[in-house]
Each structure stands twice: as C-alpha cells, then as structure tokens.
Amino acid sequence: MDSTGERGSASVEVAILLPAFILLMVVASFVGRVTIAQNAVDLAAHDAARAASIEREGDTAASVAVDTANDTLDELGVLCASRTVTPDVADAFANDDFGPQEGAPPVVAVTVTCTLSFAAFPLLDFDTASVTSTYTSPLDWYRGRSPS
C-alpha cells in the first residue's frame, strides 16, 4: 500500500500548531508574571501596614511603611518598572491617647502599586500592567508611648 497521499502532513501540522503553541507560552508567561507580582504586592502591603501599626508616631509610621514595602518587593525580586507606596496614617495617629477609644479602632492603611513592563513580550498588545493592593491594620495598643 502506498502512503504518498499523506507525505508532508506532519510539517503542515507543525506549521499550523506552532504559532498557537508559542502564543500559549507567551500568555502563560504573562499570567504567571502578573500572578507572582500580585502576590508580592499583597505581601508588601500587609507587611508595610503591620510595621506602621506598631510605630509610635505618624511620621515614623509612614516612613517605616514605605521602607518595609520596598524591602519586601526587593527581597521577592519583583521587577517593577515603577512602584508607589501610599501609607495613610493621619487618622490613626490623630489622637495622642494610647488607650482604647470610643468608636471604631484607628487603622493604618497602605496601598502598594507596581507597574510591570512587558516590552519584552512583542506578541502582547500593551507594554505595561499594574497590580495594586491595599491592606489595613489596626493600631497596636501595646506599642508603648514615645519617650518624652
């Protein structure tokens, strides 16, 4: 039996399936990178809010939040084209009374935004993607008073 009618069909199948396979790999790389970055940004916001909530003064808390978020992102190796850390500590430190207060407990909120660059992905229709996370942490009542 002669199989000359099927000669070359493997090359046609590869020619048809290879672009789809390459696109699948590019999309998987994109989704993986965004997911890893989102997890890192979540952790950075959590760490920053917690670090700020145990500080004694608002200015120090804001500075510590920014430093902690940047340190966490650096440790995790997230390559952000740009990153923004926005601590919201003003309401939490408005009252100098360190004991429990009436109403809702004061909280520190930190928002971390990381812009990822996808310039190396020529098949994608965009160059950047942003991931953002906000975390709030109540003030720690046991953090102590500032020395006077």
Q: Parse the chain into domains and list their residue ranges.
A: 9-97+105-138
Residues 6+ apart with CB under 8 A from 54: 140, 143
Query: What pTM did the predictor assign?
Result: 0.78
pLDDT of res. 35? 94
CB 84 within 8 A of CB 112: yes
Reading the block at residue 45, the tokens are 């916001």
User: Tens-of-pLDDT digits for all 148 residues of the chain?
Assistant: 455 666 667 888 888 888 888 888 888 888 888 999 999 999 999 999 999 998 888 889 999 999 999 999 999 999 899 999 999 988 777 766 555 566 677 889 999 999 998 777 666 677 788 999 999 998 877 665 555 5
